[in-house]
Structure 1
Amino acid sequence: MAQPQSSSGTDGPIAAWGESVPLSPGDTLRNGLSDMTLSVTLLAHEWQVRVARHPGAREETAWRQWCDSTLPEHDEGLERFARGNEAPRVALRPALADLPLIVRPNHPLHLPPGTDTTIYMSTLVWLQLLVGDDRRLMEVPVRQPSWTWMGADTMEGELCYASLTAARLEPDNLPRRPWRAMSAVRLRHEGDDYLTLDRFSFPAPIMPLFRQSEPGVDGAHSLWTPTLSIRCERDLATASLKVEATPPPEAGPCTALAPARQPVERNHLVRTMDRIFG
């Protein structure tokens, strides 16, 4: 693993997801992802974490990470954590959202009867900050999510995050970002009429994360989730859901990176299936 660098930024991270970066007191590990900057400072008796967001800024396409011995000038978004006896090292681990996502295609997609259609989408990850032997200090979304409600009315349903997707039909057309997890959603429509897909629920909390073992088309080791299979026997009311064990073949060889937030329990899946399409 490369040693921390003192620079204004690099074209890639010092360490891959989950790999530790050793720090000395006074060092700050800085990360530029999307429109946010995450800085982690090690002091003699505490960790300091600063999160600065830059709304309206052009989204970066590369994860910039560098280390220096200069304390941050500003205390924007400062969180302080007393140190224990953990080793002076820090790592970042990705995780999917802690709530389901209500995913809306930019334009409705009409599925012919008796067809199998796979759409490809990507979702922003949360950053879990680990110190020492993987003790978690905190987590933060790469971008602040928007809230929405999924349910028949305000009394029955659940709070979710809102997400938009282009619903690509070719995986190579999906833009790659280090902080986005790619997913294949396989839709099997067994009904007699066209099925209009204008939104669906993506069960992020019960899905683990994988990382490509070999570089993809963009030369990076992208994040992937297992394939999500949705089967409609007649219409939306008869939909059933299954989280497959692995990412789709298009992802190539992958290794497990982060477990699901929640175990896959039958009752949870039933509740999820009841609200696949709202």
Structure 2
Amino acid sequence: MSPWWLPVAVDSGQSWQYTLGPLTLYLQRLRSEWLLGHAILHDQDDRYLLRSRSISQLPELENVQRFIFRESPGHFCLKPKLLDRSVVVKTRKQVSIPAGEQAVFYISSPVVVEVTVQQPDCKLAEITSQRLSDTWFGPSTLHGELCYADKTQARHSRTDLPLRPHRAITAITIENNADSMLVLSKLSIPVPYLAVYGLADGSLWTDPITLQHDGNLALTRFKISKHLPAGVAMTDRIAEPRQHIEKQGLIRAFTGIFND
């Protein structure tokens, strides 16, 4: 893969197709307007695609939007951002961590693609790269939050990570400080609080997080690590968090994180 968040120059009258996993974006620049449409595939065999090319014309799409300018900007740029809600991931296999142990898992979540034109800069739209269903996460209907639902392999080795241009990887350290076995079937990733980092190999990473379990299922400590994963540097930061952590909101958001 290669970085897909760099600007692309487009001549007036030229059309462009950009495919990121299941999402395909269609853009056309005219003298005084830009056209933008998209399509999302559900065929999982196509989720690793990364393709950028000029096309003769836009296909027939119902969601094409028009953006009018006195003179249309000459570049477009796609920027990855994280979702606006936490993502609840259900592990495909149950995971158990003995008392006093800790484990690191690499879990990815789909990004939102911010489409902008440049020179001058103007944000056109934000488009989710993969559709996720809604889910409620919390101990009751009164306490918790509305999240997105996803599934994960909860990979324990970084070398096992597949290359997927539309998903950002979060390194999650889980510390079991209790005196009993910790059994995980799902957990919540607070992606709105995390920044995005883009590497030269085209992969996307987020701030790493640590979840500390002390034996009380009602409360779990959460912190964003100051130490980025190996190979990721602050200079690779390409998107800021959508939200900043507030202490009281943090407790509500992560109540019951390890409950089935």
Aligned-partner residue type, residue 175 of structure 1: P
> Does the C-alpha gap of structure 1 residues 247 and 82 become closer, same or farther in structure 2, counting only changes over 3 Å?
same
**Counterpart-to-counterpart distance in 2, 1:54 and 1:223:** 21
2:98 aligned residue:
112
Q: What is the aligned length?
A: 257
The TM-score normalised by the length of structure 2 is 0.90
**3-state SS in 1 of match to 2:254:** helix
Q: Percent identity?
A: 28
Unaligned runs of 5+ in 2: none
> Does the C-alpha gap of structure 1 residues 73 and 226 become closer, same or farther in structure 2, counting only changes over 3 Å?
closer
CA contact (8 A) 1:46 1:83 kept: yes
1:3 aligned residue:
none
CA contact (8 A) 2:9 2:75 kept: yes
**Counterpart-to-counterpart distance in 2, 1:80 and 1:121:** 36
Residue of structure 2 aligned with 1:146, choices 117, 130, 133: 133
Unaligned runs of 5+ in 1: 1-11, 214-219
Aligned-partner residue type, residue 67 of structure 2: F
Residue of structure 1 aligned with 2:85, choices 72, 94, 99: 99
CA contact (8 A) 2:19 2:52 kept: yes
Aligned-partner residue type, residue 95 of structure 1: K
How is 1:5-44 mapped onto 2 (pairs within 5 angstroms)?
16-44=3-31
Matched, 1:63 2:50: yes
Aligned-partner residue type, residue 7 of structure 2: S
**Counterpart-to-counterpart distance in 2, 1:151 and 1:107:** 21
2:181 aligned residue:
194
Aligned-partner residue type, residue 50 of structure 2: W
Deviations 1:24-49 (A, max 9, x none): 22111211222232101112222211
Q: What displacement does 1:239 show?
A: 1.3
Q: Supply the RMSD in Å over aligned alpha carbons.
A: 2.0
**3-state SS in 1 of match to 2:162:** coil
Deviations 1:103-131 (A, max 9, x none): 11111101100001111111111111011
> Does the C-alpha gap of structure 1 residues 99 and 162 become closer, same or farther in structure 2, counting only changes over 3 Å?
same
Matched, 1:211 2:198: yes
Q: What displacement does 1:54 show?
A: 2.6
CA contact (8 A) 2:31 2:72 kept: no
**Counterpart-to-counterpart distance in 1, 2:37 and 2:256:** 37
**Counterpart-to-counterpart distance in 1, 2:14 and 2:79:** 20
Aligned-partner residue type, residue 274 of structure 1: T
**Counterpart-to-counterpart distance in 2, 1:84 and 1:96:** 32
> Does the C-alpha gap of structure 1 residues 134 and 112 become closer, same or farther in structure 2, counting only changes over 3 Å?
farther
Work out which structure has the larger RCO, using CA pairs closer than 8 Å and 6 or more positions apart in sequence. 2
Matched, 1:180 2:167: yes
Q: What displacement does 1:230 show?
A: 0.4
**Counterpart-to-counterpart distance in 2, 1:17 and 1:245:** 26
